[in-house]
Amino acid sequence: MTDNSRRYPDPAVRVLDPRFDALRIASASVECLYQGARWSEGPVWFGDGRYVLWSDIPNNRMLRWDEATGAVGEFRKPSNNANGNTRDREGRLVTCEHLTRRVTRTEYDGSITVLADRYQGKRLNSPNDVIVKSDGSIWFSDPTFGIDSFYEGEQQESELVPAVYRIDGQTGELSVVADDLAGPNGLAFSPDESMLYIVESRAEPRKIRAYDVGADGASIKNGRVLIDAGAGTPDGFRVDVHGNLWCGWGMGTDELDGVRVFTPQGEAIGHIALPERCANVCFGGRHRNRLFMAASHGLYSLYVNTQGVKGG
């Protein structure tokens, strides 16, 4: 970060609408926790161990930042070009892997369980982002990004159209939630889980779509555009307890790179400027009031005056 990050209030935390004032802390600034990744993605907070895990996809590894010491080390290498990560409702790590084209769960003893790698006998593309609903079901996006080149996995042929899937929390059955999106990417539920948000990252311009979750809790309907990103590039995002969307953002300019914050109605109210494009975020810390931001080469954080949704 520049010397500006030493000033309070931090000029990198930009108010686009007065409603953002209530969400920022004047004496909190953006902190750079790590530099040295090729493409940072998929941060997830482990409060029981006080650390953040995140993916460095092209380097085929997952990194760990320790809150108590500030130390960073390798958590897993090789990682099968891991991308998105989250925790299930029992606290286990759930990971999307590009190289193996699968979604896995890391058990308490460190062993790996494959949750999904095929649909109707055909290989998944490259699972990207993943979230877990309160009923234990696991929802993930499956674009082709990891098989489009040799940079984030292995270049291979696609066998399935890009889609969003759901793994039933009881039976493990895999079902398609949506298969009409151009490059489905980041996912998040509203705080009451009545809506599912999906980033459509191959739409021009990119969009964040909102869907009503069906009464069965396993389907979605009434899709609509919540946010037209314009020149921005939403990737991964998380939702706070008030329903605001904290979105990884940017495309190589000072005005866009960082995290953009939207109301539940899709109105831009704030921006956290970073010196590089941000791919994904998570909330952590003891009170879930510290935003961790996985940006191109690094990991950043900012204390905010709200809390991330539990389980998000």
Length of the chain: 312
Helix or strand or coil: residue 69? coil
Catalytic annotation present for 257 = no
C-beta separation of 133 from 189 below 8 A: yes
Residue 235 assigned as binding residue: yes
Out of 235, 240, 254, 257, the active site residue is: 235
Residue 41 assigned as binding residue: yes
Residue 4 assigned as binding residue: no
Amino acid letter, 104: T
d(CA 272, CA 275): 10
d(CA 228, CA 127): 24
Query: What token pair was written down for 311?
Result: 């389980």
C-beta separation of 250 from 229 below 8 A: no
Residue 224: CA count within 13 A, CB half-sphere: 7
Positions at the binding site for substrate: 128
Positions at the binding site: 41, 128, 185, 235
Positions at the binding site for a divalent metal cation: 41, 185, 235
Could you list the active site residues? 235
